Amino acid sequence: MTEKKIRVLIAKPGLDGHDRGAKVVARALRDDGMEVIYTGLRQTPEMIAEAALQEDVDVVGLSILSGAHNALVPQVIAKLNENGQTDVVLFLGGIIPEDDIQTLLEQGVYKVYGPGTDTREVCKDIHEAVKAKA
């Protein structure tokens, strides 16, 4: 019997082209033993939800550095819900002002990470969130 692997989608919605952070996190999760699906730049919320559906991921990690998080995140959540993927754990990383974080958490984001986050913390949080979900 194969051990259940955690599957994570790492996506960058919106128009900013800074994918370094997303790649660093993808690599860290891989090194933690997870299966990471990387979709690249400039994804619409529809495309992200579609990829999450086809890949049946446990976790979606969004990276947003454009400041458009208040517009994009609710759209991603709506699309995931529309597809019936209400149990996906959603993480967010990027430049997110303190004032916005609480709102995003209330909307259903599991956790928000800013610059300088230790990737080990992200790994630990994902394990906990997936465990709690099961």
Binding status of residue 68 toward other proteins by CB under 8 A: no
* Residues 91, 125: Cα–Cα separation, whole Å: 10
* Residues 108, 54: Cα–Cα separation, whole Å: 21
Query: Using CB under 8 A, which of 16, 18, 24, 30 touches other proteins?
Result: 30
Angle at 114 between CA 67 and CA 107, to 5 degrees: 65
Task: DSSP for 26-67, please give it.
Answer: HHHHHHTT-EEEE--S-B-HHHHHHHHHHHT-SEEEEEE-SS
Count of alpha carbons within 13 angstroms of residue 79, beta-carbon side: 18
Query: Using CB under 8 A, which of 17, 33, 97, 115 touches other proteins?
Result: 33
Does residue 25 contact residue 7 with C-beta atoms inside 8 Å? no
Identity of the residue, 48 or 64, whose beta carbon is nearer to other proteins in the bound complex:
48
Query: Using CB under 8 A, which of 38, 74, 117, 130 touches other proteins?
Result: 38
Point out which span in 59-67, 69-77, 82-90, 106-114 binds other proteins (CB under 8 A): 82-90
Binding status of residue 114 toward other proteins by CB under 8 A: no
Query: Using CB under 8 A, which of 17, 20, 40, 120 touches other proteins?
Result: 40
| Residue carrying the six token digits 């933690």 | 32
Query: Using CB under 8 A, which of 16, 50, 100, 125 touches other proteins?
Result: 50
Q: Which residues are at the interface with other proteins (CB under 8 A)?
A: 1-2, 4-5, 7, 26-27, 29-40, 46-47, 50-51, 53-56, 83-85
